[in-house]
Structure 1
């Protein structure tokens, strides 16, 4: 800033020339300077006041807006700041349909260390190594004597282990409370429950999260405090589940199979009463997943929902039921059984020559490939695809398991005449046993589509009418005759009116083609046939059993059917279905002994025309 001089020389000289007093000029300039200084000071003060007023206005405006937002919002339940208080009460129990505990919580402790607070780190390491043999002593010594300020020792310990650590008397070893998830029934229903683990962890708490099965599918629901700790009620029955697993394990052993699966479904509701996949696992000690090789070799693999299998002759009822519904045939309609049937450069054979003409019923009873293909040709490709899609055989099952999405059926991209033929008898389209159970339940449910579920008591709208009740009833009658005089005669358990169909499918090679000595043997059943209530699917992976005549058999009639029959004997009374009479039943191993039965065709019998 340039200051004006008080006595400017030019003005002083002119004032003297005019005889004026120069001091008046100085007094005037001094007065003007003081007024300018006062104006600047006043403007600075006014600016400060405006700034302070703006700050106060902003602050009070923010408080007012926040108060208005709180006044107009819905009240929420207050949350504690400590993580453990949120976790301890959040994960609900899981029960079966009768309220029996399948998964619950247990208060336990973790152990961690502050090495810098230890009095004798070496003695502490030696004491921990004695209590926990899986800990490495040298690594503990190195950690305790190094620069680490904190380290986990064990995420979960038993009360006995906690007391033993207390007895070490080391102040640098500390405990934190936490909840752990336990499964009191061990490996029973392991694939359904899946398992859980720890998410966010602190020294005083740990977040329990689902990692597989219904634990993961319902993770948000199980942790939601709004449910007030109400348990998740599953549709399975613990007694039925254990019976299924025991029978499948015995059958798997007797039939020398590498794996087994079974699913029992209530027809009217779609509720799964039991579901088992062997080998299985204990969710209390969940194994690590396989990183190489065939995923189905892992006990974590759920064959019921993740398996993608060609299910063989169990599919033959689908084209027959559709043809009945379309009015193309009736149970006694004669169909040409002349073999082979030629489609382009391929020909399809039957395992036996069943005669020149077969009734529609005999086609399913004798399990004729040729007869089934001729019926499929009457239906046509487009109608065949539409019907199978309505049965749910083109999409992953909507059951409440996270693994279900990986069980997407393998559907041919192209659907020429030869594909339509092979799909009609269960080859060329790979689906899971749960898909098969759902499709059979739809037939048993008067033709109304059934949606599988693992939740008990959930109300669902009636499914789409896919078959007329009359066509569905005729289909079940045909399946009943498969049991009374066809390939599944060993499943004719007295008093339970079992209807069903066997299927023995050669397993495909990863490199193409099919194995000659590896099959998937399946029996799909409905009972009682006169009033269908339940669907049971049993599959054995690569079974092989020696018959009474010394020959080796892999067919479903000699391997899977006896296992399914034993299972029906076990669960029938548990379901409230009483057999007609009391019989002296033989031992389980004796009941599994195979008999020589008519063999349904296995594999795709396609041979290029010469």
Structure 2
């Protein structure tokens, strides 16, 4: 009772004594009302206020997350999965694999010196100063090493360093290595596409899905490309062989479906392994087919001849003088002249510079420029591949410019554009934009553009065939496949002058030339003369490259050999 009174007294309150009960029957006391009611109210309010403050603080702290929680949460969540890239037959070109990346929470590191020394025993390639600075900082999170090997991860886990963690990430894996490097492209350390079709996938919507949070761990539908991995391997293999055989500094090639515009194969050497994306940045690994511009030499006579015939000013059997002549202080002459006038097919077959210049002169400067523009040779080509170059041309076209451009000097364009324009020449005059995605004939018919008369295309196919049978393209014409086309040997510009010893060679061929289905192009940069050969011109190197590709790839392209009546007789005899 005394304790109770003391407690109430401390609160400013007084309690009456409890009624006494005894055997003697004491008188019941009246309970007195609190003498100081306001003090009781104040005390109660004080207690409530304290609890409200404490409760509010707890609520506030509950809404605030640890700065490191973001990284811990991210580490626990699965990384975003990129869609696989497949070839036209379903073969995997690029896919995601899981990998671990190492991070630190520096505020939880007990001893930065010891942690640094321990990690360096497993990851000796890390910079000790940078590593120590990150571990000893006040930051909440710091990356230490991305894309560890399983062994590295296991050894680091065995070290048992507090404040060190792993995040599961996705790394892009390319089963074919360098086989289709310039088409497939690469991703960066964050698994974002930065080149080739990988970048196209991001630009086409995958990046937006990521940013909006719709891209998750679920596997997305794969992206099928137009290329055939089998043909792609053949093209690259032939380029590797040609570079070694002709001691060249670079080479390239492509196979294109003429009717649909699909790129079936495309390669450029030197190349790189996209599993090591740093090599993609090296200057020598440029994609020369779509991102390099070159004077394409005599392959441009394809367009000069077609232009002359399509203009109506020149007929198939017309004959031109090939006598050298001077224009604006320059002499237009032959590389190997025949010493006589040549017909239009002969100008093409014998690769006459003078005859081509005279054809261009008949059409005129404006007509020449308009035709090359119509064929897509003077503007950046439109396709899914991000790496495409802008062609170069004279700022002001003069007569001398038009004449030299007629035989391949004065305009630089990409080999891809040359191939696409040449395909239109033999495809009844229909220009079909190139694509690295599957496209049907019906889809192509909806977007194709008429750039040439039917008759012109038919005459050009015949001219292609003549050159493939008896001209500079003979070595690109394997038995049974009827390849027709045009060689090009361009002298390279060195110190502002054309060099006699350094060449950029090319061959553009179509097959079967009677009704072309595929166009094949090859380029080879600075080839050396093969032992036993007359020269290092395109007929001795670029053309055989195309012939080898056709011979090896025709079966995969569903083109059967045709040996004419002799072949039919042999089949009957069996």
Question: Same fold judged by TM-score > 0.5?
Answer: yes
Structure-1 residue corresponding to 2:224: 233
Q: How does 1:84-233 map to 2 (within 5 A)?
A: 88-89=79-80, 91-118=82-109, 121-137=112-128, 140-141=131-132, 143-144=134-135, 150-199=141-190, 208-220=191-203, 221-223=205-207, 224=209, 225=214, 229-233=220-224
Q: Please report the TM-score for the alignment, with normalisation by the length of structure 1.
A: 0.74
Q: Is the 8 A contact 2:106 2:139 kept in 1?
A: yes
By how many angstroms is 1:258 displaced?
Answer: 0.4
| Of 513, 520, 528, the match for 2:504 | 520
Structure-2 residue corresponding to 1:571: 553
Q: Is the 8 A contact 2:188 2:277 kept in 1?
A: no
1:349 and 1:134, CA in 2 relative to 1: closer, same or farther beyond 3 A?
same
Structure-2 residue corresponding to 1:373: 357
Work out whether 1:321 is the aligned partner of 2:306: yes
Structure-2 residue corresponding to 1:282: 273
Structure 2 CA distance for aligned equivalents of residues 523 and 452 of structure 1 = 19
1:140 and 1:388, CA in 2 relative to 1: closer, same or farther beyond 3 A?
closer
Q: Which string of whole-angstrom CA distances, capped at 9 and with x for unpartnered residues, describes residues 390-431 of structure 1?
A: 100111110112211xx1110112111111101111110100
Work out whether 1:250 is the aligned partner of 2:237: no
1:123 and 1:530, CA in 2 relative to 1: closer, same or farther beyond 3 A?
same
Q: Which string of whole-angstrom CA distances, capped at 9 and with x for unpartnered residues, describes residues 238-258 of structure 1?
A: 111111111101111111110
Work out whether 1:486 is the aligned partner of 2:464: no
Structure-1 residue corresponding to 2:493: 508
Q: Is the 8 A contact 2:82 2:219 kept in 1?
A: no
Structure 1 CA distance for aligned equivalents of residues 77 and 279 of structure 2 = 29
Gaps of 5+ in 2: 1-71, 564-574
SS at match of 1:521: strand
Structure 1 CA distance for aligned equivalents of residues 385 and 466 of structure 2 = 35
Structure-1 residue corresponding to 2:537: 555
Work out whether 1:427 is the aligned partner of 2:413: no
Q: Which string of whole-angstrom CA distances, capped at 9 and with x for unpartnered residues, describes residues 115-151 of structure 1?
A: 4434565554344223223124465456545666543
Work out whether 1:352 is the aligned partner of 2:336: yes
1:116 and 1:444, CA in 2 relative to 1: closer, same or farther beyond 3 A?
same
Q: Is the 8 A contact 1:259 1:279 kept in 2?
A: yes
Structure-1 residue corresponding to 2:27: none
Gaps of 5+ in 1: 1-80, 200-207, 582-610
Structure 1 CA distance for aligned equivalents of residues 133 and 453 of structure 2 = 75
| Of 433, 436, 444, the match for 1:451 | 433
Structure 1 CA distance for aligned equivalents of residues 531 and 473 of structure 2 = 16
By how many angstroms is 1:468 displaced?
Answer: 1.7
Q: Please report the TM-score for the alignment, with normalisation by the length of structure 2.
A: 0.79
Structure-2 residue corresponding to 1:400: 384
Q: Which string of whole-angstrom CA distances, capped at 9 and with x for unpartnered residues, describes residues 428-455 of structure 1?
A: 0100000101111101211011211111
Structure 1 CA distance for aligned equivalents of residues 469 and 427 of structure 2 = 22
Q: Is the 8 A contact 1:222 1:232 kept in 2?
A: no
- The CA RMSD over aligned residues, in Å, is 2.5
1:450 and 1:84, CA in 2 relative to 1: closer, same or farther beyond 3 A?
farther
SS at match of 1:520: strand
